[in-house]
Amino acid sequence: MLGIDGLTVEEITMLLDLADAYVDQNRKHDKKSDVLRGRTVINLFFENSTRTQASFELAGKRLGGDIMNMSVSTSSIKKGETMIDTAMTLNAMHPDVLVVRHPDAGAVKLLSEKVTGAVINAGDGRHEHPTQALLDALTIRRRRGRLDDMTVAICGDVLHSRVARSNIHLLTTMGARVRVVAPRTLLPSGIERFGVDVFHDMRAGLTDCDIVMMLRLQTERMRGTFVPSIREYFHFFGLDHEKLSYAKPDAFVMHPGPMNRGVEIDSDIADDINRSVIRDQVEMGVAVRMACLDLLTRDISPN
């Protein structure tokens, strides 16, 4: 599972249906099953992560698999080993699934060509973050009962965001209308080719939309100056109740986390349980990752 790009409506729907069932399992007193019994999952993270790594770990454990976490800070990469050497070393230990995050776009695909087990992309540079888009879709579908015929505004640092790319692929494939709302400096050139409508003004971009998806300002990926100042960015692009009032009255707010309060989102919105579904997204994340691990290990099962 390297990206959403290329997945069909049927494949996305199948993943979401399976994840839906795992939401129920996760709400039970006994959350454990043995779907991954005897299987090994390695979380190989070349870039920091809080929720994605925790979510994959919990997903694997709830399915009864053996899960190992490896992060760069404790690995031989620090001693000069290449990413491929690290992957080949781990591959020799026969993992059934490698969950990989890497700061470079395309690195996870490259790695997947060298190893024998299934590979899940947990985020590669600015390219894709497929399980994030799936968990966002599950959050929307459970709230609204569908993904088509609705307008989603993806706002903020689209340029550096793999979350935006995966969501644009998924939502347009499933028949939603997608808007991107950002300053010109934070949009990739040719973004219109992805089938989205482009806005540079929050109030115009949010008008009558059903869902407002906020993105973190990814300063760690920036080389140079992209916004005049954080204060000015918040003034024009930070989501507050006044700007949200342009969306539909029942519109809800999403954010992949981690949030920069007072930068892209006001705390009043982030913590408003009537408008923000950020906690739901985290819950859906575990279920979606269980569905991915389940399906991918079925495919490689020798039985």
Helix, strand, or coil (residue 30)? coil
Asked if 164 interacts with ligand ASP (CB under 6 A), we say no
Helix, strand, or coil (residue 156)? coil
Cis peptide before 95 (omega within 30 of 0): no
Rounded least distance, CB 111 to ligand ASP, Å: 17
Element (H, E) at 84: helix 83-91
Residue appearing with tokens 């640092």 = 157
- Which CB, 64 or 257, lies closer to ligand ASP? 257
Q: Which residues, 6+ apart, have CB-to-CB distance to 26 below 8 Å?
A: 62, 283, 286, 287, 290
Report which residue type is found at 109: K
- Among residues 41, 98, 111, 163, the one that binds ligand ASP under rule CB under 6 A: 163
Residues 77 and 86 sit within 8 Å (Cβ to Cβ): yes
Asked if 169 interacts with ligand ASP (CB under 6 A), we say no
The Cα–Cα gap between 68 and 32 comes to 18
Asked if 285 interacts with ligand ASP (CB under 6 A), we say no
Asked if 165 interacts with ligand ASP (CB under 6 A), we say no
- Among residues 39, 102, 179, 216, the one that binds ligand ASP under rule CB under 6 A: 216
- Which CB, 51 or 203, lies closer to ligand ASP? 51
* Region of 190 on the Ramachandran plot (φ > 0 left; ψ -120 to 50 alpha; else beta): left
Q: Closest by alpha carbon to 226, among 212, 215, 240? A: 215
Under rule CB under 6 A, which residues in 236-275 are in contact with ligand ASP?
256-257
Rounded least distance, CB 42 to ligand ASP, Å: 19
- Which CB, 62 or 216, lies closer to ligand ASP? 216
- Which CB, 101 or 141, lies closer to ligand ASP? 101
Asked if 162 interacts with ligand ASP (CB under 6 A), we say yes
Q: In what order do the strands lie in the sheet with 252-254?
A: 197-199, 177-181, 151-155, 211-214, 252-254
Asked if 141 interacts with ligand ASP (CB under 6 A), we say no
- Which CB, 54 or 88, lies closer to ligand ASP? 54
Rounded least distance, CB 295 to ligand ASP, Å: 22
- Among residues 123, 125, 156, 183, the one that binds ligand ASP under rule CB under 6 A: 123
- Per CB under 6 A, residues contacting ligand ASP are 123, 129, 162-163, 216, 218, 256-257
